[in-house]
A and B are shown apart, each in its own frame.
Chain A
């Protein structure tokens, strides 16, 4: 790694930190611009009780001061305040709880989609314009055009209700199969298409022709020579894939009743749990920003041909 690369990485890290700060700030001020406090909708509260509640959660202080406290708590203690609706629980604890299930879901879905996507993409490239290639491309095109909630609901209708082979409720291990498949199908289709086009690109290179001229067999060319280089564009998809899985899990967990962070987030939106909405948005956003950062750095480090701006 030369100094230019280091400089680039340094710049990207700064931009990432700045972005996370922007997310925190936007989230805080946007959330506090909602007319009426979070307790207005509650039944059986007198103004005195409301004032006491607001004092308890620090909502009576000036907005600037609240903001600084919020920022300081996040930076120093990683504390996002208490939840308003689940009394006595801290936002970060609820998030950590949900994250256990969601992370398992996301990691398995990502791994599955990478493995199947790369294999299918390589097969499609190898059998270009033959029947198997056509079938793979048609199916992946269909998958890419389907929103995750449509995919999830259709899988639910087919496997859990019509065929009754898998449970519809995602709180048991067997119940996690359908949500994982739902999450994995779109990125898998995307990776397949990406691998196919970049593989075709690599197969046209001179060094592949050299290998062919030497008499290397087809499979060995694909897996020994072409695959490594054609995976570089796939690397760039890692960041967007995480973003997709995070947003996808919001609806998928809703459909299959998976007790994860996505469901907690959606229910916090419906019952106006402000600190919970803020905390989840910030943590998920930070996750995506960090993943994009890692992807960018990895991409530049792995491929020496890429020139840095």
Chain B
């Protein structure tokens, strides 16, 4: 039967089953991509985020690897040898200068490893102190954000999943912690925890980490999970109501399938992004507390304590302030830019 032009008559041929040739058009030639691969591709195209990632990677690897082969350690006072008077020529060396005994060695034809950034007021190699301080700052930021991630996820999903009274109570607690001025509470808690913890942990493994760092972690665990739990609760609440969840339910998907295939992949990116953005804020807080004398325990350095120590000799040794300042700004800047890139790549919804 031929179809007349401009007629509303239904063309029955359109309803015939597709021939094999027609089916070929629908076969996808490119390999199917996953959500993760897609995101990585987008991240790779974002030049700023990619460069930031490389910078973070380099700094992290350097801070882990360099202390293994560097001839000096962060706590050795080079002028102090047991049984001999203190050789003060090692204190406050300028970059690439040598102490008196090292000079003799050089004159005798031996090679001495240079002090790239000189030494500090106690005669400790400054380069390795900066490297070590970077390591400490990065580690503190990383672990603090993991603590926040774990507590926030647990509380947020409990609150979102159970709803009702549990949700109400948790959210009121969150509201109150959220409206507390965080920095002041951090200072107060660190002051007190430092005094309380020091005698408790004496002689245990924890002592090497130091009471200040532990109290910093405790403070993060107590105060900083709130925004993360709010975020996750909101995600779970809104994702549960999405149409694709409804359509999955309508086509007979089980709860397990919905959770693993729909809720988690859609939630996890937001969670990882905010955890990544938590790291610079933790590094910020640690360096701030170190500056106030509430951070890492001496002789262990962190970038904040190095900067704060450098203030005493700022007139003659300005570079000792500038070096940790540059490193910390570089870390925070690249983490922030990388976090932004992650957000753009993995969560196009947020990019409003």
Chain A positions within 8 Å of B, measured between CB atoms, are 15-16, 18-19, 22-23, 26-27, 30-31, 33-35, 141-142, 144-150, 153-154, 156-157, 161-162, 243, 246-247, 250-251, 254-255, 266, 269-270, 277, 281, 284-285, 288-289, 292
Contact = CB atoms under 8 A, between A and B. Distances in A.
28 contacts: A15-B175, A15-B176, A16-B179, A23-B180, A23-B181, A33-B192, A33-B196, A141-B336, A141-B337, A142-B333, A145-B329, A145-B332, A145-B336, A149-B304, A150-B325, A150-B328, A153-B311, A153-B325, A156-B314, A157-B318, A157-B321, A162-B318, A246-B183, A247-B183, A277-B188, A285-B180, A289-B181, A292-B179
B314 A19 contact: no
Contacts of A22: 176, 180
Nearest to A148: B288
A34 B318 contact: no
B310 A284 contact: no
Contacts of B314: 153, 156-157, 161
Contact of B329 (A142, A251, A266, A281): A142
Size category of the binding interface on chain B:
35 or more
B308 A149 contact: yes
A133 B325 CA distance: 26
B288 A147 contact: yes
Interface in B186-236: 187-189, 191-192, 195-196, 199
Contacts of B191: 269, 277
B292 A269 contact: yes
B192 A19 contact: no
Contact of B291 (A15, A149, A288): A149
Contacts of B159: none
Contacts of B181: 23, 243, 246-247, 284-285, 288-289
Given A26-B188, A142-B333, 8 more contacts: A18-B176, A31-B192, A146-B325, A153-B310, A153-B311, A153-B321, A154-B322, A269-B292
Given A153-B307, A153-B310, A243 B183 contact: yes
Contact of A26 (B185, B187, B196, B291): B185
B184 interface: yes
Nearest to B319: A157
Contacts of A277: 188, 191
Nearest to A265: B187
A18 B196 CA distance: 28
B315 interface: yes
B181, B185, B292 — which one has the most chain A CB atoms within 10 A of its CB? B181
